[in-house]
Amino acid sequence: GAGVSQSPRYKVAKRGQDVALRCDPISGHVSLFWYQQALGQGPEFLTYFQNEAQLDKSGLPSDRFFAERPEGSVSTLKIQRTQQEDSAVYLCASSLVQGVHEQYFGPGTRLTVT
């Protein structure tokens, strides 16, 4: 079956531009997570949804970052006024339900801010 997909796979943005990154989770998965992975580092948690409810956004680094999942399926991570420090791979993961169930990761979107 289809796994988690993300688009675009690569995005180059000029400093100050807004970007939108899309995540299509596995069908039927209730939980959805966003992580940021800087070069040479492990992924860092950004935010978590259960269905359409954003239950934890404590990892978002600034108010320039915004995530939504309006219908409890597809999610979009938006970054406004991009800065060079936003350059990273953004990973999306979904799981059937919260907790013990495995998080399945997408391939990520590599964002480069020039």
Identity of the residue, 6 or 82, whose beta carbon is nearer to other proteins in the bound complex: 6
Please report how close the Cβ of residue 31 comes to other proteins at its closest, in angstroms: 7
**C-alpha separations of 12 from 3, 34, 97 in Å:** 25, 19, 34
Among 65, 106, 111, 113, binds other proteins (CB under 8 A): 106
Tokens of 29: 């998965």
Stretch that binds other proteins, among 12-20, 69-77, 79-87, 91-99 (CB under 8 A): 91-99
Among 8, 18, 41, 85, binds other proteins (CB under 8 A): 41
Whole-angstrom Cα distance, residue 105 to residue 113?
23
**C-alpha separations of 65 from 28, 100, 101 in Å:** 26, 28, 27
Among 2, 39, 53, 100, binds other proteins (CB under 8 A): 100
Please report how close the Cβ of residue 17 comes to other proteins at its closest, in angstroms: 24
The DSSP element (H or E) to which 28 belongs, if any, is: none
Among 21, 23, 79, 91, binds other proteins (CB under 8 A): 91
Q: Which residues, other chains included, contact 62 with Cβ-Cβ below 8 Å and sequence gap of 6+?
A: none
